[in-house]
Amino acid sequence: MSSDKYILGISAFYHDAAAAIIKNGEIIAAAQEERFTRVKHDPRFPVNAINYCLEEAFIEADDLEAVVFYDHPLLTWDRIVKNCAMIGEESYPTFNSALKSVLGIKLWVEEYTTKAIGTLGKTGKIIFAGHHMSHAASSFYPSPFEEAAILSLDGVGEWSTTTLGYGKGSDIKVLKEINYPHSLGLLYSAFTYYCGFKVNSGEYKLMGLAPYGKPTYVKEIYDHLIDVKADGSFRLNTDYFGYLKGDKTTNAKFHELFKGEPRKPESKITRKEMDLAASIQVVTEEIMIKIARHIRELTGSKNLCLSGGVALNCVANGKLEAQKIFDNIWIQPAAGDAGGALGAAFVALHLYFKESRAPRTGNKDSQHGTYLGPAFSEAEIGAFLDRHEYPYTKFESDADQHTLLAKELDSGKILGFFSGRMEFGPRSLGGRSIIGDARKTDMQSKMNLKIKYRESFRPFAPAVLAEDVSAYFKLDTESPYMLLVAPVKENLRTNVNSEEQLKENNDDMLGVINQARSTIPAVTHVDFSARIQTVHLDTNKRFYELLTAFKALTGSGVLVNTSFNVRGEPIVCTPKDAYQCFMRTEIDILVLENFVLFKPLQPKIDNDENWKQQYELD
């Protein structure tokens, strides 16, 4: 009998359901359910992701040592009950809805698990890991650090919204916390909603909007909405928020403070939204930096592990990195609730089973580049293409393939790039990416309008050879997970002054979006910042070699990298998903491992005109 300890972690029922499996502390697989069901942010019990994890681990469900859920439904219920009891009659609709949801569905994780895989593992019962402990574990255990300060920041998990901890070896201790309703995540979400974006997914847009604005509302925020102590701890003034009483994050008093009703989704973005975005971004950064200073002092550690939805704010992360409060920062790439599945598995291994953590050696994490999802073999891809008679060129030599693709990129072609295992987490990192030449002045608008089908104010992210990052950006550390924002170097910038133009154009944001602000304009934001991905040979050889070939041909080691999907669609998972996205958009070339497909040679897809209705706008 094998003594290997396989543990399955699950997150579900809220948003971005996911599963992860570890074997003796090594991450074997992890994936979000949405990638399989093709429903964005799918919250349902992740049957498909679980089955994939079991297949990847090459085990039967009976071989599982334990199944772990990343949240404690009864503790969440405790919060809801006490919230509603305090509020009284006004909260009845919330109570009714929450009772059905928490006691009617979420409490029964064991039944969902048994129905899905026929077992609860050898422990015979579900282990419930604490929500913030799952986040903390997801950032500490895979990190390169033997010991580290651990900070988790999100909307809310059970009661906690902010957790300060310390990890050493196999152990994690929670040191301090801030509890509901006082939440940096909920504060940011309130502005997300008020500015007309979707809560839980639109935060990224608000962050991207911030550089267009001026932080003119910072004083109002500090004066009315949040009180922050010197150690970074904070309390909200709940008079201004709607979430204690109903399903909206803001209320009339909030709207009165900012002089108007929330912006209607998809309506014109005005100067007000830009300034609000800039203001809440500044406040978020200032608080994160204060908390970071405090936890540094509290733990004495020179290493920081970061997780929770707020840790996806890569602009704030970049500011934190630049402060050099810590020598090293590691951020879980699936920092949101999906990553809780991975963390929960680690909680069971190290805290419940008390298994030792392998000593850390070198500076590499054990996240495997977060390429933890399904891969497809040459035989599988070939069979798919042959079955449908899709014309392709198959390369026996990687070098020949990269040389050809580099030439195509240099000529302005856009590639759908499908390579190796799918990414775990919200970012595409060269496993399932759309890529183009960052030097082309029309690349941003072309990708936005003809491929992503959006007119976005958000720039695309650069993928850069790890060893070249400091040549292009003011960043002296790795950013393999696209979680750090840093400025483009001055010597690469043009004389375009977007700030002046924004003033002149008042709120005509679109007028400045597509201007060439640097020699890599497609990835340079209005404030000259860039959301950087460093590409590494040891985690994505094919992408690294393509970048190398492109650099050899053009002298530029930077490519645009955006997620392989259209707006509202989950990132592609299979060759079929990739082919469908390729054919529905103006992507020029599809790369499926060593197969290359050219658009003009492909047969037309019949009866596919209404495909956009499949996807709800994000």
Taking the least distance from each CB to other proteins, the nearer of 276 and 347 is 347
Tokens of 502: 């924004």
b vs e for 287-320, b when ≥16 Cβ sit within 10 Å of the residue's Cβ?
bbbbbbbbbbeebebebbbbbbbbbbbbbbbbbb
Residue 41 DSSP label = T
Taking the least distance from each CB to other proteins, the nearer of 306 and 590 is 306
If binding is defined by CB under 8 A, does position 68 make contact with other proteins?
Answer: yes
Taking the least distance from each CB to other proteins, the nearer of 355 and 508 is 355
For residue 181, cis peptide bond before it (omega within 30 degrees of 0): yes
Taking the least distance from each CB to other proteins, the nearer of 12 and 484 is 12
Taking the least distance from each CB to other proteins, the nearer of 347 and 485 is 347
Taking the least distance from each CB to other proteins, the nearer of 134 and 585 is 134
When binding is defined by CB under 8 A, the residue of 58, 60, 74, 608 that contacts other proteins is 74
Taking the least distance from each CB to other proteins, the nearer of 261 and 378 is 261
When binding is defined by CB under 8 A, the residue of 4, 26, 62, 125 that contacts other proteins is 125
Strands, E, within 476-578: which ranges?
A: 484-487, 529-535, 558-563
When binding is defined by CB under 8 A, the residue of 9, 25, 73, 343 that contacts other proteins is 73
- The region of 77-85, 142-150, 262-270, 579-587 touching other proteins under the rule CB under 8 A is 77-85
- Please list every residue from 168 through 187 that binds other proteins, using CB under 8 A: 172, 174-182, 185-186
Taking the least distance from each CB to other proteins, the nearer of 105 and 537 is 105
Q: What is the smallest separation between the CB atom of 303 and other proteins, expressed in angstroms?
A: 21
Give the angle 401-406-410 at the CA atoms, nearest 5°. Answer: 150
Q: What is the smallest separation between the CB atom of 308 and other proteins, expressed in angstroms?
A: 12
- Please list every residue from 324 through 363 that binds other proteins, using CB under 8 A: 347-348, 351-352
When binding is defined by CB under 8 A, the residue of 108, 204, 598, 615 that contacts other proteins is 108
Taking the least distance from each CB to other proteins, the nearer of 177 and 380 is 177
d(CA 538, CA 365): 12
For 582, counting Cβ atoms within 10 Å of its Cβ (0-12 exposed, 13-18 middle, 19+ buried), the class is buried
Taking the least distance from each CB to other proteins, the nearer of 34 and 545 is 34
Using only C-alpha atoms, the chain has a radius of gyration, in whole angstroms, of 24
- Please list every residue from 86 through 105 that binds other proteins, using CB under 8 A: 86, 88-89, 92, 94-105
d(CA 593, CA 581): 16
Q: Do 572 and 32 contact (CB within 8 A), yes or no? A: no
DSSP string over 391-424: --EE-S-HHHHHHHHHHHHHTT--EEEE-SSPBS
When binding is defined by CB under 8 A, the residue of 24, 51, 237, 602 that contacts other proteins is 237
Q: What is the smallest separation between the CB atom of 424 and other proteins, expressed in angstroms?
A: 20
Tokens of 334: 């699936």
d(CA 166, CA 300): 10
d(CA 414, CA 203): 27
When binding is defined by CB under 8 A, the residue of 115, 253, 450, 576 that contacts other proteins is 115
If binding is defined by CB under 8 A, does position 106 make contact with other proteins?
Answer: yes
- Please list every residue from 184 through 203 that binds other proteins, using CB under 8 A: 185-186, 189, 199-200
When binding is defined by CB under 8 A, the residue of 19, 50, 54, 126 that contacts other proteins is 126
Taking the least distance from each CB to other proteins, the nearer of 101 and 519 is 101
- Please list every residue from 136 through 165 that binds other proteins, using CB under 8 A: 155-159, 164
Torsion of CA 473, 479, 482, 484, to 10 degrees: -60
Q: What is the smallest separation between the CB atom of 313 and other proteins, expressed in angstroms?
A: 15
When binding is defined by CB under 8 A, the residue of 122, 219, 235, 612 that contacts other proteins is 235
Which helix (H) or strand (E) covers residue 465, if one does?
strand 461-465
Taking the least distance from each CB to other proteins, the nearer of 200 and 419 is 200
Q: Total binding residues for other proteins by CB under 8 A?
A: 94
- Please list every residue from 442 through 461 that binds other proteins, using CB under 8 A: none
Q: What is the smallest separation between the CB atom of 565 and other proteins, expressed in angstroms?
A: 17
Q: Do 151 and 232 contact (CB within 8 A), yes or no? A: no
Q: What is the smallest separation between the CB atom of 394 and other proteins, expressed in angstroms?
A: 38
Binding mask 392-431 for other proteins (x = CB under 8 A): ----------------------------------------
Q: Do 391 and 597 contact (CB within 8 A), yes or no? A: yes
Taking the least distance from each CB to other proteins, the nearer of 93 and 603 is 93
d(CA 131, CA 390): 46
- The region of 242-250, 505-513, 548-556, 578-586 touching other proteins under the rule CB under 8 A is 242-250
Q: What is the smallest separation between the CB atom of 488 and other proteins, expressed in angstroms?
A: 34
d(CA 399, CA 542): 10
Taking the least distance from each CB to other proteins, the nearer of 89 and 490 is 89
If binding is defined by CB under 8 A, does position 205 make contact with other proteins?
Answer: no
Give the number of other CB atoms < 10 A from CB of residue 451. 24
Task: Write the secondary structure of 516-532 as one string of H (helix), E (strand) and C (coil).
Answer: CCECCHHHCCCCCEEEE
d(CA 425, CA 206): 19
When binding is defined by CB under 8 A, the residue of 48, 83, 367, 498 that contacts other proteins is 83
- Beta-carbon contacts of 378 under 8 Å, excluding residues fewer than 6 positions away, are 593, 594, 595
| 558-to-428, 440, 463, 518, 541 alpha-carbon distances in Å | 16, 11, 6, 12, 16
- Please list every residue from 2 through 61 that binds other proteins, using CB under 8 A: 13-15, 37, 39, 41-45
When binding is defined by CB under 8 A, the residue of 55, 58, 60, 85 that contacts other proteins is 85
- Please list every residue from 243 through 282 that binds other proteins, using CB under 8 A: 243, 247, 249
Written as one letter, the residue type at 182 is H
Mode of pairing for the β-strands spanning 589-592 and 415-418 = parallel
Tokens of 197: 């974006």
